[in-house]
Amino acid sequence: MVTPGEALARILEHIPAPDATERVPLSEAHGRRLAVPVRSDVDLPPFEKSMMDGFALASASAAQAPARLRIRGESRAGAPFAGSVPAGECVEIFTGAELPEGCDAVEMIENVRRDDAWIELERPVARGQHVSHTSEILAAGRVVYSPRRRLGAADLSVLASCGCDPVEVFRRVRVSILTTGDELVTPRQTPARGQIREGNTYFLAAACAELGAAIVRSAIVPDQPAALESAFRAALEDSDVLVTTGGVSVGKYDLVGAAFERLGVEPILHKVAVKPGKPIWFGMRERTPVFGLPGNPVSTLLGFELFVRAALARLAGDEPELERERLRRGRWLGPPERSGDRQNNLPALCRSGADGVAELEPLAYRGSADIVAAARAHALVVIPALGQIRPGEMVEYRPLGSYVGNA
Whether 399 and 379 have beta carbons less than 8 Å apart is answered as yes
Q: Does 73 bind ligand AMP (CB under 6 A)?
A: no
Q: Does 184 bind ligand AMP (CB under 6 A)?
A: yes
Among residue numbers 284 through 343, which ones bind ligand AMP (CB under 6 A)? Answer: 294-297
Determine the interface stretch with ligand AMP among 30-38, 193-201, 228-236, 339-347 (rule: CB under 6 A). Answer: 193-201
Q: How many CA atoms lie within 13 A of 184 on its CB side?
A: 20
Cα dihedral across residues 313, 314, 318, 321: positive or negative: positive
CB of residue 374 vs ligand AMP: minimum separation in angstroms? 12
**Residue nearest to ligand AMP as judged by C-beta position:** 295
Q: Which does 196 bind (CB under 5 to 8 A by kind): Mg ion, ligand AMP, none?
A: ligand AMP
CB of residue 178 vs ligand AMP: minimum separation in angstroms? 10
Determine the interface stretch with ligand AMP among 12-20, 198-206, 345-353, 398-406 (rule: CB under 6 A). Answer: 198-206
Q: Does 50 bind ligand AMP (CB under 6 A)?
A: no
Among residue numbers 152 through 181, which ones bind ligand AMP (CB under 6 A)? Answer: 179, 181
Q: Cα dist. 183→192, 193, 202, 258, 301 in Å?
A: 9, 9, 17, 20, 20
CB of residue 295 vs ligand AMP: minimum separation in angstroms? 3
Q: Does 359 bind ligand AMP (CB under 6 A)?
A: no
Question: Which residue type occupies 271?
Answer: K
Q: Cα dist. 127→101, 107, 131, 135, 360 in Å?
A: 14, 10, 9, 18, 59
User: Which 3-state string (H, E, C) describes 201-240?
Assistant: HHHHHHHHHHCCCEEEEEEEECCCHHHHHHHHHHHHHHCC
| # of chain residues touching ligand AMP (CB under 6 A) | 16
List CB contacts of 125: < 8 A, sequence separation 6 or more: 57, 59, 62, 65, 105, 106, 107
CB of residue 12 vs ligand AMP: minimum separation in angstroms? 24
Q: Which residues of the shown chain bind Mg ion in the complex (CB under 5 A)? A: 181, 246-247, 295
Q: Which residues of the shown chain bind ligand AMP in the complex (CB under 6 A)? A: 179, 181, 183-184, 196, 198-200, 245-247, 249, 294-297
